Amino acid sequence: MNCPQCEHQIESADAICQHCGFDLSSAAWVVLTKVYPPDDLIIESLLNSYGIPHKILRREVPQMPVTVGPLAEVIVIVPEQILAQAKALLQELEDQSNS
């Protein structure tokens, strides 16, 4: 993934950028979107392909192999510095799927 501050590649979401020293673990993470499966997999793949740091928050209940309703909701969060860029990608994806 890429550093939200300097755009250089970093290895993990909890890493410090070797180029500019930006600490991703101390970044303010904000909600990009709330979706349901399988849309979460599509969005995760899109963000990965563009090198955008993100976290996927799922409510998994081991006793229930299939989740429905509010339990199935998936929250996608990104660092606040790149929220606009991530939203633009999602909008582009939505525009392509509507045409």
Q: What is the mean pLDDT of each run of 10 residues along the chain (99 residues)?
A: 83 75 86 94 95 89 71 92 95 89
Match 């999602």 to its residue by tokens: 90
Instruction: Give the class (CATH, top level) of 28-98.
Output: alpha beta
Sketch the domain layout of the chain as residue ranges.
28-98
Q: What is the pTM of this model?
A: 0.81
pLDDT in the model for residue 57: 94
List residues bridging with 77 in a β-sheet.
Answer: 31, 55
pLDDT in the model for residue 34: 96
Q: Which of 17, 21, 94 is nearest to 53 (CA)?
A: 17
